[in-house]
Chain A
Amino acid sequence: MDHQSRGADDDRGRKLRQKRIGDQLRRLYDEVTEEAVPEEFLNLLEQADNSSKKQK
Protein backbone atom coordinates (compact mmCIF):
# COMPACT_ATOMS: atom_id res chain seq x y z
CA MET A 1 0.00 0.00 0.00
CA ASP A 2 2.72 2.40 1.09
CA HIS A 3 4.73 1.27 -1.87
CA GLN A 4 1.85 1.86 -4.22
CA SER A 5 1.14 5.41 -3.09
CA ARG A 6 4.78 6.34 -3.46
CA GLY A 7 4.68 4.98 -6.96
CA ALA A 8 1.65 7.11 -7.69
CA ASP A 9 3.44 10.21 -6.34
CA ASP A 10 6.44 9.56 -8.56
CA ASP A 11 4.09 9.16 -11.45
CA ARG A 12 2.32 12.41 -10.75
CA GLY A 13 5.64 14.21 -10.39
CA ARG A 14 6.84 12.83 -13.68
CA LYS A 15 3.66 13.86 -15.44
CA LEU A 16 3.89 17.38 -14.00
CA ARG A 17 7.49 17.75 -15.14
CA GLN A 18 6.62 16.47 -18.58
CA LYS A 19 3.73 18.89 -18.81
CA ARG A 20 6.06 21.74 -17.91
CA ILE A 21 8.53 20.69 -20.57
CA GLY A 22 5.69 20.46 -23.09
CA ASP A 23 4.43 23.93 -22.19
CA GLN A 24 7.88 25.43 -22.50
CA LEU A 25 8.62 23.70 -25.78
CA ARG A 26 5.48 25.22 -27.22
CA ARG A 27 6.49 28.55 -25.76
CA LEU A 28 9.86 28.43 -27.54
CA TYR A 29 8.17 27.50 -30.81
CA ASP A 30 5.39 30.05 -30.46
CA GLU A 31 7.87 32.81 -29.67
CA VAL A 32 8.92 32.46 -33.30
CA THR A 33 5.50 31.92 -34.89
CA GLU A 34 4.22 35.04 -33.12
CA GLU A 35 6.99 37.25 -34.50
CA ALA A 36 6.03 39.41 -37.45
CA VAL A 37 7.12 37.72 -40.67
CA PRO A 38 10.08 39.65 -42.14
CA GLU A 39 9.02 41.42 -45.34
CA GLU A 40 11.79 39.70 -47.22
CA PHE A 41 9.83 36.44 -47.17
CA LEU A 42 6.75 37.88 -48.81
CA ASN A 43 8.82 39.86 -51.30
CA LEU A 44 10.68 36.73 -52.35
CA LEU A 45 7.43 34.83 -52.77
CA GLU A 46 5.94 37.64 -54.87
CA GLN A 47 9.05 37.73 -57.05
CA ALA A 48 8.90 33.97 -57.57
CA ASP A 49 5.22 34.21 -58.47
CA ASN A 50 5.81 37.07 -60.91
CA SER A 51 8.63 35.32 -62.69
CA SER A 52 6.60 32.13 -63.06
CA LYS A 53 3.72 34.16 -64.54
CA LYS A 54 6.07 35.61 -67.13
CA GLN A 55 7.18 32.17 -68.18
CA LYS A 56 3.64 30.98 -68.90
Chain B
Amino acid sequence: MTQPTLDDQAFKTELAGLIPHLRAFARSLCGNATAADDLAQEAMLKAWKARESYQSGTNLKAWTFTILRNLFYSEKRRSWRRQQLDPEVAEATLVSNDDPSSALDLLALRTGLTVLPEDQREALILVGAGGLSYEETAEICGCAVGTIKSRVSRARKALAEIIENSSGGYAGDGKLRASEAFDDIMKQADELSSGSSADV
Protein backbone atom coordinates (compact mmCIF):
# COMPACT_ATOMS: atom_id res chain seq x y z
CA MET B 1 0.00 0.00 0.00
CA THR B 2 1.52 3.34 -0.97
CA GLN B 3 0.93 6.56 0.89
CA PRO B 4 -0.85 9.30 -1.04
CA THR B 5 1.49 12.01 -2.27
CA LEU B 6 1.14 15.55 -0.99
CA ASP B 7 -0.63 17.92 -3.31
CA ASP B 8 1.55 20.54 -4.97
CA GLN B 9 0.45 23.38 -2.76
CA ALA B 10 1.16 21.50 0.47
CA PHE B 11 4.47 20.28 -0.87
CA LYS B 12 5.50 23.78 -1.86
CA THR B 13 4.68 25.14 1.58
CA GLU B 14 6.66 22.42 3.33
CA LEU B 15 9.60 22.76 0.97
CA ALA B 16 9.68 26.53 1.45
CA GLY B 17 9.77 25.95 5.20
CA LEU B 18 12.86 23.82 4.81
CA ILE B 19 14.87 26.43 2.88
CA PRO B 20 16.68 27.66 6.04
CA HIS B 21 17.84 24.11 6.73
CA LEU B 22 18.90 23.48 3.15
CA ARG B 23 20.97 26.66 3.34
CA ALA B 24 22.54 25.66 6.65
CA PHE B 25 23.42 22.16 5.50
CA ALA B 26 24.80 23.52 2.23
CA ARG B 27 26.87 26.08 4.12
CA SER B 28 28.42 23.32 6.18
CA LEU B 29 29.38 21.44 3.04
CA CYS B 30 30.61 24.40 1.00
CA GLY B 31 32.14 26.73 3.53
CA ASN B 32 31.40 29.65 1.23
CA ALA B 33 28.03 31.37 1.54
CA THR B 34 27.51 32.22 -2.13
CA ALA B 35 28.38 28.73 -3.35
CA ALA B 36 26.22 27.27 -0.60
CA ASP B 37 23.15 29.25 -1.66
CA ASP B 38 23.73 28.19 -5.23
CA LEU B 39 23.78 24.55 -4.14
CA ALA B 40 20.75 25.00 -1.87
CA GLN B 41 18.75 26.57 -4.72
CA GLU B 42 19.53 23.73 -7.07
CA ALA B 43 18.62 21.18 -4.43
CA MET B 44 15.33 22.96 -3.78
CA LEU B 45 14.43 22.97 -7.48
CA LYS B 46 15.45 19.33 -7.83
CA ALA B 47 13.26 18.41 -4.86
CA TRP B 48 10.36 20.29 -6.45
CA LYS B 49 10.77 18.43 -9.75
CA ALA B 50 10.99 15.08 -7.94
CA ARG B 51 8.01 15.81 -5.65
CA GLU B 52 5.95 12.96 -7.03
CA SER B 53 8.48 10.44 -5.77
CA TYR B 54 8.24 11.78 -2.22
CA GLN B 55 6.11 9.62 0.07
CA SER B 56 4.10 11.76 2.44
CA GLY B 57 4.51 10.79 6.05
CA THR B 58 8.25 10.24 5.66
CA ASN B 59 10.72 12.88 6.75
CA LEU B 60 10.81 15.58 4.08
CA LYS B 61 13.87 17.20 5.62
CA ALA B 62 15.89 13.98 5.35
CA TRP B 63 14.59 13.51 1.80
CA THR B 64 15.65 17.00 0.66
CA PHE B 65 19.01 16.66 2.44
CA THR B 66 19.65 13.46 0.49
CA ILE B 67 19.01 15.35 -2.74
CA LEU B 68 21.29 18.20 -1.71
CA ARG B 69 24.05 15.86 -0.65
CA ASN B 70 23.88 13.82 -3.87
CA LEU B 71 24.05 17.01 -5.87
CA PHE B 72 27.08 18.17 -3.92
CA TYR B 73 29.02 14.96 -4.40
CA SER B 74 27.99 14.29 -7.97
CA GLU B 75 29.22 17.60 -9.32
CA LYS B 76 32.78 17.58 -8.14
CA ARG B 77 34.01 20.21 -10.51
CA ARG B 78 31.48 22.82 -9.52
CA SER B 79 32.53 25.94 -7.70
CA TRP B 80 30.66 25.01 -4.57
CA ARG B 81 33.23 22.41 -3.60
CA ARG B 82 34.57 23.30 -0.23
CA GLN B 83 37.57 25.56 0.12
CA GLN B 84 39.60 26.41 3.16
CA LEU B 85 38.07 28.69 5.71
CA ASP B 86 38.07 32.21 4.37
CA PRO B 87 40.36 34.40 6.51
CA GLU B 88 37.69 37.13 6.35
CA VAL B 89 35.18 34.80 7.96
CA ALA B 90 37.79 34.01 10.58
CA GLU B 91 38.37 37.67 11.31
CA ALA B 92 34.65 38.36 11.52
CA THR B 93 34.15 35.46 13.90
CA LEU B 94 36.65 37.00 16.26
CA VAL B 95 35.61 40.63 16.14
CA SER B 96 31.87 40.04 16.30
CA ASN B 97 32.11 38.25 19.61
CA ASP B 98 32.29 40.01 22.95
CA ASP B 99 33.83 37.11 24.81
CA PRO B 100 37.33 36.50 23.39
CA SER B 101 37.71 32.97 24.67
CA SER B 102 34.36 31.94 23.27
CA ALA B 103 35.24 33.62 19.96
CA LEU B 104 38.47 31.66 19.78
CA ASP B 105 36.64 28.44 20.49
CA LEU B 106 34.16 29.21 17.76
CA LEU B 107 36.97 30.01 15.34
CA ALA B 108 38.77 26.82 16.31
CA LEU B 109 35.55 24.92 15.68
CA ARG B 110 35.09 26.49 12.24
CA THR B 111 38.69 25.72 11.39
CA GLY B 112 38.50 22.25 12.86
CA LEU B 113 35.47 21.51 10.71
CA THR B 114 37.40 22.39 7.56
CA VAL B 115 40.09 19.80 8.27
CA LEU B 116 37.80 16.95 9.27
CA PRO B 117 37.33 14.31 6.58
CA GLU B 118 34.15 15.13 4.64
CA ASP B 119 32.31 12.03 5.80
CA GLN B 120 32.93 12.83 9.46
CA ARG B 121 32.03 16.48 9.06
CA GLU B 122 28.68 15.86 7.42
CA ALA B 123 27.73 13.16 9.94
CA LEU B 124 28.56 15.46 12.83
CA ILE B 125 26.65 18.41 11.36
CA LEU B 126 23.54 16.38 10.57
CA VAL B 127 23.38 14.68 13.95
CA GLY B 128 24.89 17.40 16.12
CA ALA B 129 23.29 20.49 14.62
CA GLY B 130 20.71 19.54 12.01
CA GLY B 131 18.54 17.60 14.42
CA LEU B 132 18.51 14.39 12.40
CA SER B 133 18.62 10.98 14.02
CA TYR B 134 21.45 8.52 13.44
CA GLU B 135 19.03 6.46 11.36
CA GLU B 136 18.01 9.38 9.16
CA THR B 137 21.62 10.45 8.77
CA ALA B 138 22.59 6.92 7.74
CA GLU B 139 19.89 7.03 5.10
CA ILE B 140 21.01 10.43 3.82
CA CYS B 141 24.65 9.31 3.60
CA GLY B 142 23.81 5.88 2.24
CA CYS B 143 25.59 3.85 4.90
CA ALA B 144 24.99 1.82 8.04
CA VAL B 145 23.85 3.39 11.32
CA GLY B 146 26.96 2.04 13.06
CA THR B 147 29.17 3.79 10.52
CA ILE B 148 27.48 7.12 11.26
CA LYS B 149 27.88 6.59 15.00
CA SER B 150 31.58 5.96 14.63
CA ARG B 151 32.06 8.95 12.28
CA VAL B 152 30.31 11.25 14.72
CA SER B 153 32.37 10.01 17.61
CA ARG B 154 35.67 10.35 15.72
CA ALA B 155 34.69 13.84 14.57
CA ARG B 156 33.86 14.90 18.14
CA LYS B 157 37.16 13.60 19.40
CA ALA B 158 39.18 15.34 16.68
CA LEU B 159 37.39 18.65 17.23
CA ALA B 160 37.92 18.47 20.98
CA GLU B 161 41.62 18.00 20.33
CA ILE B 162 41.85 20.97 17.96
CA ILE B 163 39.95 23.25 20.28
CA GLU B 164 41.90 22.21 23.34
CA ASN B 165 45.25 22.75 21.66
CA SER B 166 44.34 26.09 20.15
CA SER B 167 42.64 27.85 23.03
CA GLY B 168 44.81 26.56 25.86
CA GLY B 169 47.51 29.20 25.46
CA TYR B 170 45.18 32.16 25.19
CA ALA B 171 43.15 32.08 28.36
CA GLY B 172 42.64 35.63 29.56
CA ASP B 173 44.48 37.26 26.68
CA GLY B 174 41.84 39.35 24.99
CA LYS B 175 44.37 41.35 23.00
CA LEU B 176 45.41 38.51 20.76
CA ARG B 177 45.34 39.61 17.14
CA ALA B 178 42.86 37.82 14.97
CA SER B 179 45.41 36.95 12.30
CA GLU B 180 47.75 35.39 14.87
CA ALA B 181 44.95 33.35 16.34
CA PHE B 182 43.92 32.22 12.91
CA ASP B 183 47.46 31.20 11.93
CA ASP B 184 47.93 29.33 15.13
CA ILE B 185 44.66 27.44 14.85
CA MET B 186 45.39 26.59 11.22
CA LYS B 187 48.74 25.20 12.30
CA GLN B 188 47.16 23.03 14.95
CA ALA B 189 44.60 21.82 12.48
CA ASP B 190 47.26 21.04 9.86
CA GLU B 191 49.26 19.03 12.33
CA LEU B 192 46.21 17.09 13.34
CA SER B 193 45.08 16.36 9.81
CA SER B 194 48.53 15.36 8.53
CA GLY B 195 48.41 12.42 10.91
CA SER B 196 45.20 11.07 9.42
CA SER B 197 43.85 10.67 5.92
CA ALA B 198 42.09 13.98 5.49
CA ASP B 199 41.57 13.49 1.78
CA VAL B 200 38.84 10.89 1.80
Chain A positions within 8 Å of B, measured between CB atoms, are: 14, 17-18, 20-22, 24-30, 32-35, 37-38, 40-42, 44-45, 48-49, 52
Contact = CB atoms under 8 A, between A and B. Distances in A.
Contact of A18 (B15, B19, B125, B156): B156
Given A32-B24, A45-B48, A49-B8, A26 B164 contact: no
7 contacts: A32-B27, A40-B41, A41-B40, A41-B41, A45-B16, A48-B49, A49-B8
Counting chain B residues whose Cβ lies within 8 A of the other chain, the interface size class is: 20 to 34
Contacts of A24: 105-106, 109
A28 B109 contact: yes
Given A32-B23, A40-B37, 17 more contacts: A17-B160, A17-B163, A18-B160, A21-B128, A21-B160, A21-B163, A24-B105, A25-B124, A26-B128, A29-B24, A29-B129, A32-B27, A37-B19, A37-B20, A41-B16, A45-B12, A52-B48
A21 B124 CA distance: 11
B130 interface: yes
Contact of A41 (B44, B109, B130, B163): B44
A22 B131 CA distance: 11
B128 A37 contact: no
A50 B130 CA distance: 31
Contact of A48 (B28, B45, B163): B45
A45 B109 contact: no
